[in-house]
């Protein structure tokens, strides 16, 4: 189960509204490489994993991604608080504003709403961990793209933190995959799926 | 940075060490050095959290500032900037 600790994982203090930045940064909330999707991917994949170390990694990274989702939301909140109607119109934020005002709603930068279609949970140990490695790189590249477009140091700072975390998570999933390979048949990693083929038969009544 | 922001930053640093070392321990559960480091920072985080709570209010439902108020709901919340 989850607790909430009343603080951000990393500080966010943005003094100047800028809805133009919010328009792109929102993709890291509800977009294809965003934190909400990352969290849901890992938290859903963990159940079928047979190894405690992998269950632990997926649980803890999935939980940290919720904290990242919160950081992105704080960034968006501070970028749109007190924005003027002129800023809304000039930035193109008007199409979001009409339905969400300065509220926070998880969507892609393109406006597509958040969807579970952005992640998979296959119940196959190797497929799931391989997807997780790719997911972290996709998140990292999106942060790289955001950094290309943002000059405000108060916005760049938490974004750089989040980008670094993606790289660390990539390392962690790599280690989890190595650990799994060590436990499998070295002559054929695909001989069986340890998430499904090693179970004790369940009694049927 | 005011004193609340400074103490909050110390608390965030402690939390972060626990997050980071914890992730390492997930795939290296028997690493003695990492375990010792984790426990050292666990104690430090607890101390820092208690001091922050005493001076600036509740940050954890399991460590309320006192039992006469439910200051958990008080502003600021974590997504507010320094201008509140």
Residue B9 to chain A, least CA–CA distance (Å) = 8
Do the domain assignments include residue A144? yes
* Residue A136 annotated as binding site: yes
Reported as a single tens digit per residue, the pLDDT across A40-75 is: 999 999 999 999 999 999 999 999 999 999 999 999
What HEC string does chain A produce? CCCCCCCCCCCCCCCCCCHHHHHHHCHHHHCCCCHHHHHHHHHHHHHHCCCHHHHHHHHHHHHHHHHHHHHHHHHHHHHHCCCCHHHHHHHCCHHHHHHHCCCCCCECCCCCECCHHHCCCCCCHHHHHHHHHHHHHHHHHHHHHHHHHCCCHHHHHHHHHHHHHHHHHHHHHHHHHHHHHHHCCCCCCCCCCCCCCCCCCCCCC
Residue B39 to chain A, least CA–CA distance (Å) = 17
Average pLDDT on A102-116 reads 98
Reported as a single tens digit per residue, the pLDDT across B33-68 is: 999 999 999 999 999 999 999 999 999 999 999 999
Domain positions in chain B = 3-58
Do the domain assignments include residue A10? no
pLDDT for A184: 85
Whether the ipTM is more than 0.90: the answer is yes
pLDDT confidence bin for A200, thresholds 50/70/90: confident
pLDDT confidence bin for B17, thresholds 50/70/90: very high
The beta-carbon neighbor of A15 closest among B60, B77, B81 is B81
The beta-carbon neighbor of A57 closest among B12, B26, B61 is B26
Do the domain assignments include residue A14? no
Residue A69 to chain B, least CA–CA distance (Å) = 11
For chain B, percent of residues with pLDDT exceeding 70: 100
Q: Which residues of A touch B83 (CB under 8 A)?
A: 15
pLDDT for A67: 98
pLDDT confidence bin for A186, thresholds 50/70/90: confident
Do the domain assignments include residue A203? no
Our count of domains for chain A comes to 1
pLDDT for A80: 98
Asked if A53 and B26 come within 8 Å (Cβ–Cβ), the reply is yes
pLDDT for A135: 98
Q: Is the pLDDT of residue A189 over 80?
A: no
Q: Is the overall model pTM greater than 0.90, yes or no?
A: yes
pLDDT for A37: 98
Give the structural domain span for A32. 19-183
Q: Which residues of A touch B31 (CB under 8 A)?
A: none
Give the separation between CA A205 and CA A198, rounded to whole angstroms.
21
Count CA atoms within 13 Å of residue B2 on its CB side: 6
* CATH code where residue A114 lies: 1.20.1260.10
Q: Is B31's Cβ below 8 Å from some Cβ in A? A: no
Reported as a single tens digit per residue, the pLDDT across A133-173 is: 999 999 999 999 999 999 999 999 999 999 999 999 999 99
Angle (CA) A56 B47 B16, round 5°: 40
Do the domain assignments include residue A194? no
């Amino acid at each position: 189960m989850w607790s909430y600790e009343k603080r951000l994982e990393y500080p966010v203090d943005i003094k100047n509204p800028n809805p133009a930045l919010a328009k792109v940064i929102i993709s890291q909330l509800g977009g294809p490489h965003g934190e909400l999707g990352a969290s849901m991917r890992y938290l859903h994949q963990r159940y079928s994993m047979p190894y405690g170390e992998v269950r632990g990694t997926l649980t803890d990274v999935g939980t940290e991604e919720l904290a990242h989702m919160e950081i992105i939301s704080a960034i968006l909140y501070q970028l749109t608080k007190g924005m003027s109607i002129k800023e809304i119109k000039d930035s193109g934020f008007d199409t979001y504003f009409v339905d969400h005002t300065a509220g926070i709603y998880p969507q892609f930068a393109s406006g597509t709403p958040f969807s579970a279609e952005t992640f998979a949970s296959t119940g196959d140990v190797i497929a799931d961990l391989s997807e997780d490695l790719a997911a972290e790189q996709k998140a990292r590249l999106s942060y790289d793209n955001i950094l290309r477009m943002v000059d405000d140091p108060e916005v760049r700072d938490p974004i750089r933190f989040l980008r670094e975390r993606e790289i660390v998570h990539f390392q962690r999933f790599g280690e989890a995959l190595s650990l799994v390979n060590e436990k499998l048949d070295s002559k054929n990693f695909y001989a069986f799926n340890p998430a499904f083929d090693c179970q004790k038969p369940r009694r049927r009544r | 940075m005011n004193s609340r922001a400074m103490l909050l930053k110390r608390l965030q640093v402690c939390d972060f060490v626990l997050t980071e070392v914890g992730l390492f321990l997930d795939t290296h559960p028997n690493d003695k050095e990492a375990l010792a480091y984790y426990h050292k920072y666990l104690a430090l985080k607890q101390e820092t959290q208690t001091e922050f709570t005493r001076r600036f209010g509740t940050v954890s439902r399991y460590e309320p500032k006192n039992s006469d108020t439910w200051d958990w709901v008080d502003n600021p919340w974590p997504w507010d900037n320094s201008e509140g």
